[in-house]
Amino acid sequence: MMVALRGASALLLLFLAAFLPPPQCAQDPAMVHYIYQRFRVLEQGLEKCTQATRAYIQEFQEFSKNISVMLGRCQTYTSEYKSAVGNLALRVERAQREIDYIQYLREADECIESEDKTLAEMLLQEAEEEKKIRTLLNASCDNMLMSIKSLKIVKKMMDTHGSWMKDAVYNSPKVYLLIGSRNNTVWEFANIRAFMEDNTKPAPRKQILTLSWQGTGQVIYKGFLFFHNQATSNEIIKYNLQKRTVEDRMLLPGGVGRALVYQHSPSTYIDLAVDEHGLWAIHSGPGTHSHLVLTKIEPGTLGVEHSWDTPCRSQDAEASFLLCGVLYVVYRTGGQGPHRITCVYDPLGTISEEDLPNLFFPKRPRSHSMIHYNPRDKQLYAWNEGNQIIYKLQTKRKRPLK
C-alpha cells in the first residue's frame, strides 16, 4: 500500500513539474517556497490518508476476525440448537406415543366396560325373555309324546285334501268338516256318529263363509274358526261360526306365506294348531326348504306373543302338531317309507335327544294332508288320502324345569 502511495506522489510531482516555467522564467524564491509548502501539505495529507487506510484495514481485519469467530459460534449454536430441537422432537413424539397408548388403554377400558354392560343387558334380556316364555308356557301341562298307539279310520271320502276337527276347548260333540285346500264351505255334524254315518239324523248343517280358506291348517278354538285367507299370503281370519261373520283378522309378520310349510303338503302355507297353551301358527322361514318358524298367537286379540326359529326343516315334512308346547314334525323322506317324527322342538328346552323315543305312525300309503292335536280329548285328527283318521297317543311326564 505504501509503495502505491509513493508512486502516486512521484507521478503528482512530475505532473506539476510539467507546468512549471523553465529556470530562466522562474519566479522569485517566494513562489518556490510557496510551492514547496504546498507539496509538504500534500505529503502530509497523503500520510494521514495512508495512516487512516492502515487503521481501516486493521479494523476491517479485526471485524472480519470477529465475524468469523461469531459465525463459528453461530454454527456451533446452530448445531446445538438442531440437536436440542431433534431431542425435543423425539421427546414430543415419545410423549405423543405415550398419550396415544394411555388413550388406547382408556378406550379399551371403556370398550370393555361397554361390552360388559352390553353383555349384562343381554343376559338380563335373556333372563327376562326366558321368564316370559316360562310364564307363557306355564307348567300346567308337562306331558311329552311317547308313541302313537293306534289308529282308527273314522270316515273315507273321495277328496285327497281337507281337514276335520272338533272344538279344541269347548266341551261340544260337534264335528266340523272342511273339504279341499281352497273352499268356503263348512259342514257341521252334531256328533262323531253323525259324521261317520251319512244317513244319520240330524243332517249336517252347511255354512258358507264370506271368505275362502287356503290350505288345510284350519282350527276351531272356543267357537271360532281360524284359517288362512286364500286371497292373501299371510292373513289369518277369526270367523264367528255362530254369527257367521268375520270377528277379527291379523297379518303374520316377517314375510310369512311366501313358501310352503311342508314339502309334501303342496297347498298349505300357514298351519294353525291348538294345544294346552292355546293358539299357534307354524310357517316356513325365508328361503327354499328352510326351517320352520313357530309363532304363539293370543286368540282374543290376535296379537303375536312370541316367535321361535326352530331347527326343524320343511324339506321332506308333511305335517306337524303341538302337544304341551312342544312341536312335533312328521317327515316322509322322498314321499316314501313310514311317517316318522324326526324333529321335536321344545321352546323351554325340557326335552333332550336322549328323551326322544322312536316316534312313527302306523303305515299309510300316502302323505297326510293334515295332522292336528286336540287338547281336550288328547288325540290326533288326521286326513290321509281321503281317510279321516284318529290317532291315539301315549305320553309321559317331561323333566321338571330347573
Residue 349 C-alpha cell reads as 328346552
Print pLDDT tens along the chain (402 aa): 544 545 555 555 555 555 555 554 445 788 888 888 888 888 888 888 888 888 888 888 888 888 888 888 888 877 777 878 888 888 888 888 888 888 887 776 666 766 767 777 777 766 666 666 666 666 568 889 999 988 899 999 989 999 999 999 998 999 999 999 999 999 999 999 999 988 777 889 999 999 999 999 999 999 999 999 998 999 999 999 999 999 999 999 876 778 899 999 889 999 999 999 999 999 987 664 589 999 999 999 999 999 999 999 998 999 999 999 999 999 987 656 678 999 999 998 888 767 788 888 887 667 889 999 999 999 999 999 899 999 999 998 887 665
Amino acid in the structure at residue 157: M
Cα separation of the two ends of the chain: 120
Cβ contact 290:314 at 8 Å: yes
- The region, left, alpha or beta by phi > 0 then psi within -120 to 50, assigned to residue 106 is alpha
Cα(358)–Cα(379) distance, integer angstroms = 19
Cα(86)–Cα(83) distance, integer angstroms = 5
Helix axes 2-17 and 29-136, enclosed angle (nearest 10): 140
List, as own/partner pairs, every contact residues 4-7 make where C-beta atoms lie below 8 angstroms and the sequence separation is at least 24, other chains included.
5/46, 5/49, 5/50
| 240: enclosing H helix or E strand | strand 235-240
pTM, 2 dp: 0.68
Handedness of CA 264, 388, 209, 307 (dihedral sign): negative
What is the 3-class SS of 141-178, one letter each residue? CCEEEEEEEEEEEEEECCCCCEEEECCCCCCCCCEEEE
